[in-house]
Amino acid sequence: MAYNKSDLVAKISQKSGLTKAQAEAAVNAFRDVFIEAMKNGEGLKLTGLLSAERVKRAARTGRNPRTGETIEIPATYGVRISAGSLLKKAVSE
């Protein structure tokens, strides 16, 4: 089961002793910093947990699955997220 935002806020509140309002403010701040870093082309690294970087996807030719028509897909950006050593170790146990 995946955590949604309210589940995450509740868990952070419980583990940190913050109020739910303070925990939600922290989650929102992290979200904003993460988005800002990706928009600016910067990376984000939480040592041992994860690293994220903005990557450019080249333009390419694709196919419309409904019609079979060939289409041109423009260049775009995506995010590559890699698990850090602590996260890898935690999920393998």
Domain check: are 60 and 84 in the same one?
yes
Count the neighbouring beta carbons within 10 Å of the beta carbon of residue 9: 21
Q: The tokens of 52 are what?
A: 């994220």
Domain check: are 55 and 93 in the same one?
yes
Domain check: are 70 and 87 in the same one?
yes
Question: Full-prediction pTM beyond 0.85?
Answer: no
Overall number of domains in the chain: 2
The DSSP symbol for 84 reads -
Domain check: are 25 and 65 in the same one?
no
Residue-wise pLDDT tens digits, 55-89: 999 999 999 999 999 999 999 999 999 999 999 99
The strand pairing partners of 14, in sequence order, are: none
Domain check: are 28 and 64 in the same one?
no
Residues spanned by the domain of 83:
43-93
Closest listed residue to residue 83, CA positions, set 91, 73, 75, 72: 91
Domain check: are 34 and 68 in the same one?
no
CATH of the domain at 60: 4.10.520.10
Q: The tokens of 1 are what?
A: 């089961």
